[in-house]
Structure 1
Amino acid sequence: MEGILQVAIDGITYVSHEDPVWRGGNHHMAMVDLAPFELPEMLEQLWLREVGEGRGYEICCIPFYAYGVALGDVIENGESGSVGRVIEKSGRRVLRILFSEPHPVVDSRPALRRALDSTGLLNEWNGERHVAIDVPDESVMQPIYDSVRNEIESATAFWEWSDSKHYTSG
């Protein structure tokens, strides 16, 4: 499954969004050091677009590992191509779900994909086991919760909100 590309170079793992959900014209990219989020030796590359003269950059992909940022948040581009501070929150959230191996007898990923399609929620996958879901409005989340409830309860899938920790640029 396409979506996220992870490449290790000289002991550093680079995470790149191959097909960001708001892909468009003139984009910029910036790196997030994931060490402050207990992921040492990892960097996530975010797709950005300029908001306006000196007003910052809007995140155009669903952050997969970085905490405290979401699709549409406006950030400051930091030094050496890194993400600086968050200037303005979009009001969106990111729900991340990780499916364990081996898969249970009743695999909920097909039901989750159907729920994502029916709700129209934007999402990016990292292989077949890890999905990041853009949540602009929590009122549409019930089909998502229902689709993975059994796996969450049986501990064959795990979920977290990306805003469970604040963003820090390290």
Structure 2
Amino acid sequence: MRLHGWGYRISDPGGNFSFESIDWTSRVLAVAMEGVGAVNSKRDQFLTHKAAVWRDRSDFVIHAALPDDGALEQLWVRRVSEDEFELCCIPFFIYDVALGDVVQTVAQGGMKYIFDHVVTKSGRYVFRAFFERKQYRYRDSVIGDLVGIGSLFEWSSPSLVAIDVHENAAQEVADYLHRKEQSGHLMYETGKTGLR
């Protein structure tokens, strides 16, 4: 399995956002899923959010299909209309969707509420950081620094954290994560492909 095969990273520290492809190896998803809260059924694997950052605002759950066979990410949302919802969690695995975005759903594969597309962007950005076991000692200081910049976060597992930040601080977070990756403290990607 792969974490969506190719992710995208902001590659111009201190400058404008630009994107370069990076290959997240299969071990990232395998290790990250250790504590994701994967729930298996006969048909699907549901990847859940144990502690959605805006869970107190949410009143509904939708799903987003992942490119891996039958896997779905469960997303906490606030219902806006019959088929539109505000995202109340930070996506662990899907791209081009952020906390606070209003999304539209469709019926698919016997399920009524499957993420289809973003209707209204929130002005927020998603980053993901992956810590190998030998890098665990850096997690608390990294999270402390990111909170100081104004970031919110959700842990998928002991290794994978999804990071949210408003667009006015996104470059600062990208620069910080780039420095930490260069220092060997973590690996990171952005949740934005640059295609949308």
Contact 2:66 2:94 in 1 (8 A): yes
User: Equivalents in 2 of 1:41, 1:113: separation in Å?
Assistant: 32
Q: CA deviation at 1:23?
A: 1.4
Equivalence for 1:30: 62
User: Equivalents in 1 of 2:140, 2:43: separation in Å?
Assistant: 35
Equivalence for 1:74: 102
Instruction: Quote the RMSD (CA, aligned, Å).
Output: 2.8
Q: CA deviation at 1:158?
A: 1.6
User: Equivalents in 2 of 1:32, 1:143: separation in Å?
Assistant: 26
Q: CA deviation at 1:96?
A: 0.5
Q: CA deviation at 1:147?
A: 6.6
Equivalence for 2:39: 7
Cα deviations by residue, 1:44-63 (Å, 9 ceiling, x for unpaired): 01111123x45821000001
Cα deviations by residue, 1:130-159 (Å, 9 ceiling, x for unpaired): 110011135366467547734x22666321
1:1-170 residue pairs with structure 2 within 5 A?
A: 4-10=36-42, 12-24=44-56, 27-35=59-67, 39-51=68-80, 53=81, 56-79=84-107, 80-101=112-133, 103-104=134-135, 107-139=137-169, 142=172, 145-146=175-176, 149-150=179-180, 152-153=181-182, 157-164=186-193
Which secondary structure does the structure 2 equivalent of 1:163 belong to?
coil
The 1:45–1:55 alpha-carbon spacing in structure 2 relative to 1, beyond 3 Å, is closer
The 1:4–1:116 alpha-carbon spacing in structure 2 relative to 1, beyond 3 Å, is farther
Residue 61 of structure 2 aligns with an amino acid whose one-letter code is M
**Structure 1 alignment gaps of length 5 or more:** none
**Structure 2 alignment gaps of length 5 or more:** 1-34
Q: CA deviation at 1:110?
A: 2.1
What is the TM-score with the length of structure 2 in the denominator? 0.68
Contact 1:34 1:41 in 2 (8 A): yes
User: Equivalents in 2 of 1:88, 1:100: separation in Å?
Assistant: 35
User: Equivalents in 1 of 2:192, 2:55: separation in Å?
Assistant: 23
Residue 113 of structure 2 aligns with an amino acid whose one-letter code is G
The 1:118–1:14 alpha-carbon spacing in structure 2 relative to 1, beyond 3 Å, is same
Contact 2:91 2:98 in 1 (8 A): yes
Query: Percent identity at matched positions?
Result: 31
What is the TM-score with the length of structure 1 in the denominator? 0.77
User: Equivalents in 1 of 2:167, 2:155: separation in Å?
Assistant: 20
User: Equivalents in 1 of 2:137, 2:129: separation in Å?
Assistant: 13
